[in-house]
């Protein structure tokens, strides 16, 4: 790795650690510069500001999510299992560090954070697009599913999954603002609707697609809300 790339990763790693410890809003660029014992020029050579810094952190997270999901999918047998692993693995609430989610979700509630969230979503879609497209094409050729246009199908399916996890984060934020818990029946309906759309789109039997385990998701949400910093 080049020296400049090493410095960029050092900034990202330090910033993520500080954002998780102190919170995004309470951490200033100067705090990060001081921790790194570097110059403003060095920082701004790599990042234009905090939003760009958080986008870089999300890009790193997206790459880690992709690496984990692809490794798991490689160990699976059969296209349906591999497709399910990739689609469920793309959801950035799955097996994510609670400290990171506790930092990120309050940011998502802000106008600036919504831009970052869309960037995070697109970063995930970009990484998962080609492998999902390849699985859809292979499944269509083997007769396991029916799809005449794997490229567009992959884009549409990944968009469904992306909008699903974004809606889930909205539900968590909305519930926190009400000092309540998200309605599990609403979560189930959302997940089931997205699953059904994908199954029908690929002409798959009912129950072929699974996107999220509601018990694990509920536990993650409870842990987030129990530690949410107001």
pLDDT in tens, 106-126: 999 888 888 999 999 999 999
130 with 222, same domain: the answer is yes
138 with 62, same domain: the answer is yes
61 with 126, same domain: the answer is yes
Query: What pLDDT was estimated at residue 97?
Result: 84
Cβ-in-10-Å burial (0-12, 13-18, 19+) of 132 comes to: buried
Nearest to 214 by CA among 193, 191, 195, 198: 191
Cβ-in-10-Å burial (0-12, 13-18, 19+) of 131 comes to: middle
- Give the position of tokens 């090493």: 6
Residue ending a domain, among 10, 30, 47, is 47
Other Cβ atoms closer than 10 A to 225: 17
Can you tell me the distance from the alpha carbon of 156 to that of 197, in angstroms, rounded to the nearest whole number? 10
3 with 105, same domain: the answer is no
Tell me if 160 sits within 8 A of 194, measured CB to CB: yes
Tell me if 55 sits within 8 A of 108, measured CB to CB: no
Q: How many domains does the chain fold into? A: 2
33 with 98, same domain: the answer is no
Rounded mean pLDDT, 160-179 = 92
Q: Does the pTM of the predicted model rise above 0.75?
A: yes
122 with 171, same domain: the answer is yes
- What CATH number does the domain containing 170 carry? 1.10.357
93 with 175, same domain: the answer is yes
- Domain containing residue 65: 54-226
Residue with more model confidence, 84 or 224: 84
- 161 contacts: CB under 8 Å, gap ≥ 6: 87, 90, 91, 194, 198, 211
- What CATH number does the domain containing 33 carry? 1.10.10.60
Rounded mean pLDDT, 189-194 = 96
Residue ending a domain, among 32, 47, 62, is 47
């Amino acid at each position: 790795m080049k020296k400049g790339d090493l410095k960029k990763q050092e900034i990202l790693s330090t910033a993520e650690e500080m954002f998780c410890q102190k919170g995004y809003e309470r951490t200033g660029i100067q705090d990060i510069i001081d921790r790194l014992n570097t110059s403003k020029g060095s920082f701004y050579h790599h990042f234009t500001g905090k939003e760009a810094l958080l986008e870089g952190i999300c890009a790193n997270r997206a790459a880690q999510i992709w690496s984990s999901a692809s490794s798991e999918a490689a160990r699976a047998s059969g296209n349906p299992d591999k497709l399910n692993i990739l689609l469920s693995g793309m959801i950035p609430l799955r097996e994510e560090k609670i400290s990171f989610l506790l930092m990120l979700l309050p940011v998502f509630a802000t106008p600036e954070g919504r831009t970052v969230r869309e960037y995070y979503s697109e970063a995930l879609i970009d990484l998962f697009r080609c492998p999902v497209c390849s699985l859809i094409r292979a499944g269509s050729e083997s007769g396991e599913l029916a799809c005449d246009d794997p490229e567009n199908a992959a884009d549409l399916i990944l968009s469904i999954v992306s909008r699903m996890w974004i809606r889930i984060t909205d539900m968590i934020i909305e519930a926190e603002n009400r000092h309540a818990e998200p309605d599990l029946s609403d979560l189930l309906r959302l997940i089931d609707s997205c699953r059904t759309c994908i199954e029908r789109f690929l002409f798959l039997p009912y129950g072929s697609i699974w996107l999220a385990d509601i018990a694990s998701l509920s536990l993650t949400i409870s842990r987030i809300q129990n530690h949410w910093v107001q």
